[in-house]
Amino acid sequence: MCLAAWLMIERYWLAAGFVYVAFMLGDSLDGTLARAQGRSTTFGAFLDSTLDRVAEGVILGAIGVTLADDGRPWAVGVMFVALTASFIVSYSRARSEGLGINDNKGGLMGRPERLVLLGVGIFLAPLGYVLELTVCALAALSTATAVYRMWFIKRSLERSGTP
């Protein structure tokens, strides 16, 4: 993932897009492959989720560096909202599972949707303000998803009688 980030910072958008897609495809298949081979473990699932957050942070960090280099501080601020909201979406799902709520997967911007949106933004970044629009969309939709998931947890706990 660091290679994709470096390529983005250096403005090799097409190469960055291909590296990003290759990494994301591999990342999405590793858990499936481990389960199919009977090699999945609880720690493996934890490690995979943790590394997913690291990868997302690295990519959004590279986008932030790029936007800062381009003199767009407002877009860097929006990128931080996107990063925070993306992490809250993932955290709220994990935390709800810890509370025994295993069906908190709703909202518009789960991880697969965020990955696709970022991939499109990376490939189309050379076209005007596409990167800024991508970050704005990611921030808005991830925030909406985080709020929805928090509301879902609250409703689920109320239904179960848990204060």
* Catalytically active residues, by annotation: 52
Contact 4, 62 (CB under 8 A): yes
Q: Would you give the DSSP letter of residue 102?
A: -
**Phi and psi based region of residue 41 (left: phi greater than 0; alpha: psi -120 to 50; beta: remaining):** beta
Give the count of beta carbons closer than 10 Å to the beta carbon of residue 57. Answer: 16
Distances (CA, A) of 151 to 144, 148, 160: 11, 5, 14
Residue pair 63/6 in contact by the 8 Å Cβ criterion:
no
CA 149 – CA 64 distance, rounded (Å): 26
Cα–Cα distance for residue pair 125/33, rounded to 1 Å: 32
Q: Within a 10 A sphere around the Cβ of 71, how many other Cβ atoms?
A: 8
